[in-house]
Chains A and B, each alone.
Chain A
Amino acid sequence: MSRNLILGAVLSSLVLLAALMSFVWTPYDYAALDIPNKLQPPNAQHWFGTDHFGRDMFSMIMVGARTSIAVALVAVGIGMALGVPLGLTAAARKGSWLDEVIMRGNDLVFAFPSLVIAILITAVFGAGAINAIIAIGIFNIPVFARITRGAALSLWEREFILAARVSGKGAARISAEHILPNVANLLIVQGTIQFSLGILAEAGLSYVGLGAQPPTPSWGRMLADAQTMVSFAPHLALIPGLAIIVTVLGLNLLGDGLRDWLDPRIRVARA
């Protein structure tokens, strides 16, 4: 196992743990106002300091992790649940009109960056975490469809697939039995990467007010609130920023590490 994998796993599980922990325990009530103690820099009582309402930043970061992870995870789930079957179908029917429609549809969705989708949805239905999930999730669909199709296409050329066809197995069965298990590694790696992109996208959307709405804490909105105070209370901007960086960095390292670890070609070369 590589250093990347270990460091990535440690950082990601740290954030995950903080998020899970926040359900049962936070140092303070994240919503409790304490105006006399506002804008404190990090200290023994408030490890990450307090914001302009005197709320405990550490507690807010913990609960914010929950929001970020939930949004990104569900968005990856949407992308996988819809994208993978689409990619498998397109590969199984390579060159047919179905393949063409799926791939052109993919290209089209790629032309709508997730922020643009979010803007559209928000303009129509109003802002909220659900809309952020949908916007990021829709953008994930073509990512998974494309990567699944690409990997599946090269597998369809392999002789063990021909052997399965000679054994009378149909496209659906071959896709489930032979193709999917052999692209699973790739999907896991891409999943971690999309997860980290989801965290970034969620932060961006909440920063501009298109994500989770108050009072639900989110890292992006903490940064938006901090913007006017950055000159005299820089910790308000630094800490949520670092939280995002640690999470995304951890997930990316995990993805890279998993790729190296799961890729049999690389493992053989190392042996």
Chain B
Amino acid sequence: MLRYALKRLISLFISLVVASVVIFAVIEVAPGDPASFMLGVNAQEDTLAALRAELGLDGSKIQRYFNWVSGMLVGDFGTSYTYRTPVSQMIADRMWVSLPLALYALTLSTLIAFPAGIYAAARRGKPGDLTVMGATQLGIAVPNFWFAMMLVLIFAIKLRWFSAGGFAGWDKGVWTGLHSLTLPAIALALPQAAILARVMRSSLLDILGEDFMRTARAKGLSRRQALWRHGVRNALIPVLTIIGLQFSFLLAGSIIIEQVFYLPGLGRLVFQAISARDLIVVESVVMLLVFAVITVNFLVDLAYAGVDPRLRGRS
């Protein structure tokens, strides 16, 4: 088990290093000099040089890469070109919207998908299954930001159960915060739940065809008992992979959904930064997103070992 975890950890580390190099390289080729962009075309050469030094833009590329990475390791993401504030502070503020939103959506999606998928698999080919499958087929086809607009139209504008946008903030209490994240989370979660439910169903159906399910039935387990005791845990293995992948879709999706609900999250930060050509912010936010995705996939790998004893090895 320890060996398995260590191996994954090493590959996590390598991925992070390669990802950071790629991101750094892409930002490096961006045309234009941030310092002259900030000070305008008429700036004096010595003022520019001073600003470049302040922003850490002098020195060789390799030097700058290591400065950037070593800074991130201690929580220093550099200084925003436009706001002149530490990027880490800006990210930390926005994280408290984006991360809870993604987790909220992931929870909703799993809570909806598992029962739906298991229900459909247990009633394969019957009306219940066909209804669930039809609904998921539709769910996959719906763009989440459009669904979000429809939710706003119905629940915020017509019914007035929720506010149409904005974020109340966590300082007014957890429930107030969650309340303002509920519509965005539903908009994010439902399309993902549709995918997850389909994976759960097909994974379970695969397992139902396995020899050991017949063995279980020969022992005297009913169809339902066999499904729950032997099917679900085995079916979880491919489902976990999808949950891991979904996390990255949810993070990306939350960037878009934040636009619909005017949420002050990472998405808005990054779009503001793009239009202001504040590349250090873009660079850091992208690195953070990639870091989150890679870390979640590492956790999923560890969860495999929890589900599947074959991965744990003999030790």
Interface check A41, CB cutoff 8 A? no
- Residues B143 and A113 in contact, CB atoms below 8 Å apart: no
Inter-chain contact total with CB atoms closer than 8 Å: 128
Query: Residue-by-residue, is B249-260 near A (CB-CB < 8 Å gives 1, otherwise 0)?
Result: 101110110011
Interface check B43, CB cutoff 8 A? no
* Interface residues in A112-130 (C-beta closer than 8 Å to B): 112-116, 119-125
- Residues B271 and A124 in contact, CB atoms below 8 Å apart: no
Query: Residue-by-residue, is A219-256 near B (CB-CB < 8 Å gives 1, otherwise 0)?
Result: 01001001100110010010011001110110011000
- Taking CB as reference atom, which chain A residue is nearest B296? A111
Stretch at the interface among B91-99, B146-154, B222-230, B307-315: B146-154
Query: Residue-by-residue, is B283-298 near A (CB-CB < 8 Å gives 1, otherwise 0)?
Result: 0001001100110010
Interface check B82, CB cutoff 8 A? no
- Residues A120 and B286 in contact, CB atoms below 8 Å apart: yes
Stretch at the interface among A13-21, A90-98, A172-180, A201-209: A201-209
If A230-B152, A249-B138 touch, whether A115 touches B255 (CB-CB below 8 Å) is: yes
Interface check A104, CB cutoff 8 A? yes
Which of A110, A203, A208 lies at the interface centre, i.e. has the most chain B CB atoms within 10 A of its CB? A208
* Complex Cα gap A110–B274 (Å): 23
Give the shortest distance, in Å, between B254 (CB) and chain A (any CB).
Answer: 10
Please give, as numbers and ranges, the residues of chain B lying within 8 Å of A234 by CB-CB distance: 153
Give the shortest distance, in Å, between A35 (CB) and chain B (any CB).
Answer: 25
- Residues A245 and B138 in contact, CB atoms below 8 Å apart: yes
Query: Residue-by-residue, is B96-109 near A (CB-CB < 8 Å gives 1, otherwise 0)?
Result: 00000000000000
Within 8 Å by CB of A252, from B31, B140, B248, B267, lies: B140
Within 8 Å by CB of A116, from B137, B144, B245, B252, lies: B252
- Residues A111 and B19 in contact, CB atoms below 8 Å apart: yes
- Residues A123 and B30 in contact, CB atoms below 8 Å apart: yes
Please give, as numbers and ranges, the residues of chain B lying within 8 Å of A113 by CB-CB distance: 248-249, 251-252, 289, 293
Which of A121, A204, A240 lies at the interface centre, i.e. has the most chain B CB atoms within 10 A of its CB? A204
- Residues A237 and B149 in contact, CB atoms below 8 Å apart: yes
Within 8 Å by CB of B153, from A107, A111, A230, lies: A230
Interface check A200, CB cutoff 8 A? yes
Give the shortest distance, in Å, between B25 (CB) and chain A (any CB).
Answer: 10
Interface check A268, CB cutoff 8 A? no
Interface check A108, CB cutoff 8 A? yes
- Residues B282 and A252 in contact, CB atoms below 8 Å apart: no
Within 8 Å by CB of B137, from A115, A209, A253, lies: A253
- Residues B153 and A237 in contact, CB atoms below 8 Å apart: yes
Interface check B157, CB cutoff 8 A? yes
Interface check A218, CB cutoff 8 A? no
Give the shortest distance, in Å, between A14 (CB) and chain B (any CB).
Answer: 14
* Pairs A–B under 8 Å by Cβ, sample size 16: A104-B15, A111-B248, A113-B289, A114-B252, A122-B274, A123-B273, A124-B279, A203-B146, A204-B145, A208-B267, A234-B153, A245-B138, A246-B141, A249-B137, A249-B138, A252-B141
Q: Chain B: residues with CB nearer than 8 A to chain A?
A: 11, 14-15, 18-19, 22-23, 26-27, 29-31, 137-138, 140-146, 149-150, 152-153, 157, 245, 248-249, 251-253, 255-256, 259-260, 267, 270-271, 273-274, 277, 279, 282, 286, 289-290, 293-294, 297
New A-B contacts (17) at CB < 8 Å, excluding given A111-B15, A227-B260, A241-B150: A110-B297, A113-B293, A114-B252, A115-B253, A116-B289, A120-B286, A123-B27, A124-B29, A204-B144, A204-B256, A207-B143, A207-B256, A227-B149, A237-B149, A237-B150, A244-B143, A249-B137
5 nearest A-B pairs in the assembled complex, by CB-CB distance:
A113-B252, A248-B141, A115-B252, A241-B146, A249-B141
